[in-house]
Copies of this chain bind each other. A is one copy, B any other.
Amino acid sequence: MIIVIQCKDKVGLVAAISGLLAGEQINIISMREHVDVAEEMFFARLQVQKRVDATALQHKLEAALPQGAQVHVNPQPEKKLAVLVTKEYHCLSDILIRNHFKTLGATVECVVGNHPVLADICSRFEVPFHYVNHDDKTKEIFENDVTECLQQYSFDHIALAKFMRILSPQFISNFAGQIINIHHSFLPAFIGANPYKQAFERGVKLIGATAHFVTNDLDEGPIIAQQIIPVSHNYTAADMMRAGKEIETAVFARALQLLFEDRVFVYKNKTVVFE
């Protein structure tokens, strides 16, 4: 079982948590704790050996910790995922394959696309795909249609697997803390449109990708994972895009794994990631 806790820091929190667990004869196999000293915030992730009633333990921990502590006891790592896409297949396909072979660490409940082209790959894996057209619609109406679609499902997270529409603050706040995105650059470099053309023109020697939570500040949400891939002078802008897709797929897979294993905490515009 995994236990994750986030709360205001004070002396004695580890003692309170571990004392309670020891009292229940629960052995801690692996523990990570981090205090953001400037923000006075406490973050902890514990892996424990004994399986007990998760809800009961969660209530006991909440009672032992300061008011407002976010405690989550996870009896099994299975999450539920909704995916938003446009036209690019690489991240979605990787997610669908892992989902199909039960190695994603989550279940893909549905895929929603603002373009119909990825319906086919979803149907090959019997994953529900919903096409929500954005043509001739205001952003508000389009997002209402997407939300209506999503409301048919229950899910923990929304993965923007190359979803190329900017979401409104309203939509984002409706799913606060749940939306993660894969960004086609090593943020904060090449913010905005056409990063591969920018990278090509700047003559960079590395191409990056960034997985991050989505907040109202476009491209400014808390970063979960980043990786790079080397490129050279003989890469065209198209070659850079192809290399970029490889690294996007890898980074997004890694970020989702970290998320599904309860290793990611968010506070303000940063993350704590217990790898």
Contact = CB atoms under 8 A, between A and B. Distances in A.
Interface string A23-59: 0011111111111110000001000010000000000
Contacts of A15: 15, 18-19, 21-22
Contacts of A187: 189, 202, 204
B29 A35 contact: yes
A154 to B, nearest CB: 26
A11 B34 CA distance: 22
Contacts of A233: 34, 36, 270-273
Contacts of A10: 27
A259 interface: no
B205 A226 contact: yes
A256 interface: no
B124 A232 contact: no
A49 to B, nearest CB: 7
Interface of A: 9-16, 18-19, 21-22, 25-37, 44, 49, 89, 93-94, 97, 100-101, 103, 121, 124-125, 186-190, 202-206, 208, 222-228, 232-234, 242, 246, 250, 253, 269-273, 275
